[in-house]
Each structure stands twice: as structure tokens, then as C-alpha cells.
């Protein structure tokens, strides 16, 4: 999830965790998202994002949510080929 520290991101994080998802979030406010149960929190660095994705997934994420818009290329790069 990109742009997770706003209202939409907070709600989506809570919903995803309630559904049993493993949440990897990109944000500038890591303490907020950690308090909501986010599994992995990173900053807005594409190289760091891809490193973390590779270390924590089997080929990418199943779903990417971008509530910002200008980070869409990062979100698409994180999604695995077989994702829904």
C-alpha cells in the first residue's frame, strides 16, 4: 500500500489486517502504521521498496493500492505477474 498514513490508508490498513492480509506499506509516518498492525513499513524509495518486496514475498505482492496517484509506477512494479 502506498500513501497509507492518511484517512483512506488508515482505513484500508485496518480492513486488510482484519481480513488476514500481510500489509507492506510505503509512508512518511511509520509509527502510525506500525500501531495499526502493518507488517512492514518503508519510505518512498523505489529501490528500497523492491528490496523489501523481494525479501518479504514470493515474487511480488498480490495486490497494490495507491491512494496518492503519482506513485502508481512503484505500485505496479511491486505486483507479481500472477496477481489478481
Could you read off the pLDDT of 17-43 as tens digits, one per residue?
999 999 988 877 778 878 888 898 887
CB 68 within 8 A of CB 3: yes
Which CATH number does 7-78 carry?
3.40.50.720
**What's this model's pTM, rounded to 2 decimal places?**
0.74
pLDDT of residue 4: 54
Torsion of CA 40, 31, 28, 76, to 10 degrees: 20
Closest to 75 measured CA to CA, from 25, 34, 11: 25
Q: How far apart are CA 24 and CA 52, in angstroms?
A: 9
Residue 5 in this model has a pLDDT that exceeds 60 = no
Domain ranges of the chain: 7-78
In terms of DSSP bridges, do strands 24-26 and 40-42 run parallel, antiparallel, or are they unpaired? parallel
Amino acid at each position: 500500500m502506498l500513501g497509507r498514513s492518511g484517512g483512506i490508508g488508515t482505513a484500508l490498513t485496518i480492513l486488510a489486517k482484519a481480513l488476514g492480509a500481510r500489509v507492506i506499506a510505503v509512508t512518511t509516518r511509520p509509527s502510525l502504521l506500525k500501531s495499526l498492525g502493518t507488517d512492514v513499513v518503508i519510505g518512498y524509495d523505489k529501490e528500497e521498496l523492491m528490496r523489501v518486496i523481494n525479501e518479504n514475498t514470493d515474487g511480488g505482492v498480490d495486490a497494490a493500492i495507491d491512494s496518492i496517484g503519482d506513485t502508481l509506477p512503484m505500485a505496479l512494479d511491486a505486483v507479481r505477474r500472477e496477481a489478481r
